[in-house]
Structure 1
Amino acid sequence: MEKQKNNKLHRQLFVSLRHHVGDSFIEKQRLLIYIYVSIGGGLLLILNLLGLSGPMGKYYFIANSINLFFITFLLLAFLRKYINLENAVIGLMSVCQLFCISEMLFITFTLQNDAILIIGNMILLIGIIFLSTLSHLKPSIISIQTLISLIVYTICCFTLNDSIQPRTYGVLVITFILSGFLGYHLTRKLTSITQINNNLEQIQKEMISLFNIDKNHINHYIRQSHTQGLTEQQTNQYLKILLENQGTPRQKSIENHIAKWHEQTRIDYQNIKSFFPELSPSEQEIATLILKGYQLKEICSLTDKKESNVNCQRSNIRRKLQIPPEKKLRYALLQTITQKTIFHPQSS
């Protein structure tokens, strides 16, 4: 019965904040951790400020007030959509960690010798790493949290004139290192699993869209790809175009892509000199780019030449190859290569 109430409460929370988070399991888990830690931490701080729990004193009152301010500020910034959920969680964990280590340093350098409070803060720091891991924060963040906490605890342990700290140092450090290492390893694995899951979702969408497409279209394109000798990568590219159109494929556009790829695979760009020996090396370079379908501005950018220079060389190509002005230069070059390939094939 209580479990059903919790599930209902969580569902209401997800619905009310649906515009702030995504639908993934990680986002929902991150949201629950953020809300619970913010509310729980805020209540504990308020109880301390009222003098009902925790250590008392001027320092603790100021520190707890600042901590409560930042927790409230982050929560309001998240609810107002000034920051996303991940940044809100990172901010919350950072504030809590800074609060713990500042208290540890205060105890150490004011010589209060409160060993129990330092150990309590160390346990809280381990809990922060654990929550950061459950929140699926970046591995680098968990590594930084672990390193900073270990450095501060080491300073506190060997600065305080206390017999308890050296005896507990090894146990707490090993626990801390294990927590940090496992957190780092787990978040890396979760990142990999998330990426795989996203890829599977994309495949699922493509498979679903496949049911809305006329199978005759697909068979036609597959046959055409085999006939034209396209590579697997090229075939996948135009099938992706087909799937993205959700059953209304731009058939003419796809067939044009196929024709263009087929046309380019038949051209041996390495032997362009043998096709056009009458052209200069610079003109052969321009001819190659024209054959590949580059426009004037693109050719200028690739060759680092001015438009006037490129146009001049295009005119020289037409003149040397006797191509009339009314004929498109690219098609004329393709026609020349095709004729020379048929009547004077390259020796293998």
Structure 2
Amino acid sequence: MKTFSTDDRESATIRSGISGLMHRREPSYIGHHRLVILSVYYIALVLLLSSNILGISGAFHHFFSVSNMLLLVTASVVMAAYLWRRIEIVTTLSLMTVATQLSLSADTLYSAFEPAMGHKYMVIIINMLLLSGNTIVGLSTYLTRITQVNTAIMFVTYTVCIITTNNSTLIDYYFMLFVVLVFFSFLGFHIAKNARRLQVENTELRRDESELMQILRLNKKQIRAYVRLASDRYGAEHTRNLLDILGETSQKNLLANVAEFMRISDTEKSRIDEIFPELTTSEKSICQLILRGKKLGDICSLLGKTESNVNTQRAHIRRKLGLATTDNLREALEERMTQASDR
């Protein structure tokens, strides 16, 4: 039992070390994801190419052996350039997948043009599957342009094979392949667009998290403990444990920051009450949040109101302040607050 426990710890240590190394090299989520795909892709490429060069698996021909050797050298040089920090991961994946696509395309076209090639149609079909798999690598790493380039290479290759061989079986699958390739291109664009949006949102969340921890002078563990303490009911012992996680200094800092925020909020509310007496209490609360730069969704969440309710009250605010629908409400509120301060 002890031996298994030691092995498990060693395995966990190795995995943790590899994961830490990858995160240091590619700290962003998408970068880390691309690095994992690149590592697996390169290993698979080396194994497949080596097995064919050594005569273990695949279609055996002098042309294929030479092209596979060239691809193996190219992929290794590109990988070495990445490891030595000469090129970025996007460039690495782009060069490696396009080189693989061109090599497979050359093998496929050679099979179509070579009259003496045995089982040429099987070689063409299998290579088309490999071309599809290579295209998916670009798709899975959010590289829209590379996905479209590899898709175009695949389509041109199959078209030339049909024209050259005039084989009825290849012709029968032409339209099906065309639809699949169009779908690949669309999917690549859509996935990359969503990935960029998620990356931006993730960066903003990390920045907000960092600012929050800096303001409250708490770490993640302490913030989680405070949230649990505030949201649930615990026994005396559990409560003491959570407070211990916060620490005495952090508790004092947190209370001081909350007190300061409440003081500023009350002062702001008093000024709004004084400057906008014509507004209702609910409308003043909305104005306060608008002045803080809050968006519609944030206002609804903070006040517990629906979007239609908030929009209706915003319309009432505009009407009471004599604003047109084209006027910027926040700028109008800030201008009136400034004018009141100058008096």
Q: Normalising TM by the smaller chain, what interval?
A: 0.5 to 0.7
Does residue 120 of structure 1 match 2:126?
A: yes
Q: Please give the secondary structure, in 2, of the residue aligned with 1:51.
A: coil
Distance 1:108 1:181, change over 3 A: same
Deviation at 1:207, TM superposition (A): 2.3
Tell me what 1:82 maps to.
86
- Aligned-partner Cα distance in 1 for 2:12–2:35: 14
Equivalenced residue count is 244
Given candidates 154, 171, 191, the residue that maps to 1:166 is 171
In proportion to residue count, which structure has more helix?
A: 2
Q: Which segment is superposed worse, 209-218 or 219-228?
A: 219-228
In the superposition, the TM-score normalised over structure 2's length comes to 0.59
- Kept in 2, the 8 Å contact 1:74–1:92? The answer is yes
Counterpart code for 1:68: L
- Aligned-partner Cα distance in 2 for 1:5–1:155: 53
Tell me what 2:70 maps to.
66
In the superposition, the TM-score normalised over structure 1's length comes to 0.58
Does residue 45 of structure 1 match 2:42?
A: no
* Structure with bigger gyration radius: 1
Distance 1:233 1:92, change over 3 A: farther
RMSD over aligned Cα atoms:
3.7
Deviation at 1:5, TM superposition (A): 9.9
Identity in percent:
21
Q: Please give the secondary structure, in 2, of the residue aligned with 1:53.
A: coil
Q: Please give the secondary structure, in 1, of the residue aligned with 2:25.
A: coil
Deviation at 1:166, TM superposition (A): 0.8
- Kept in 2, the 8 Å contact 1:21–1:27? The answer is yes
Q: Please give the secondary structure, in 1, of the residue aligned with 2:173.
A: helix
Structure 2 regions of 5+ residues with no counterpart?
Answer: 218-252, 276-287, 294-333
- Kept in 2, the 8 Å contact 1:20–1:84? The answer is no
- Aligned-partner Cα distance in 2 for 1:56–1:180: 32
- Aligned-partner Cα distance in 2 for 1:181–1:4: 45
Counterpart code for 2:152: L
| Cα-to-partner distance string for 1:105-136 (whole Å, 9 max, x where unaligned) | 22223344711111112111221222222222
Deviation at 1:90, TM superposition (A): 1.7
Deviation at 1:63, TM superposition (A): 0.5
- Aligned-partner Cα distance in 1 for 2:90–2:270: 48
Tell me what 2:225 maps to.
none
Deviation at 1:51, TM superposition (A): 1.8
- Kept in 1, the 8 Å contact 2:102–2:153? The answer is no
Deviation at 1:69, TM superposition (A): 0.2
- Aligned-partner Cα distance in 2 for 1:106–1:6: 46
- Aligned-partner Cα distance in 1 for 2:62–2:156: 26
Deviation at 1:234, TM superposition (A): 9.5
Tell me what 2:210 maps to.
205
Tell me what 1:334 maps to.
none
Does residue 175 of structure 1 match 2:180?
A: yes
- Kept in 2, the 8 Å contact 1:126–1:179? The answer is no
Distance 1:186 1:9, change over 3 A: farther
Deviation at 1:206, TM superposition (A): 2.3
Structure 1 regions of 5+ residues with no counterpart?
Answer: 237-260, 267-337, 343-348
After the TM superposition, list the runs of 4 or more consecutive aligned residues in structure 1 that deviate by more than 4 angstroms.
3-10, 213-229, 231-236
- Kept in 2, the 8 Å contact 1:108–1:160? The answer is yes
- Aligned-partner Cα distance in 2 for 1:4–1:132: 35
- Aligned-partner Cα distance in 2 for 1:6–1:118: 42
- Kept in 2, the 8 Å contact 1:20–1:81? The answer is no
Distance 1:42 1:227, change over 3 A: same
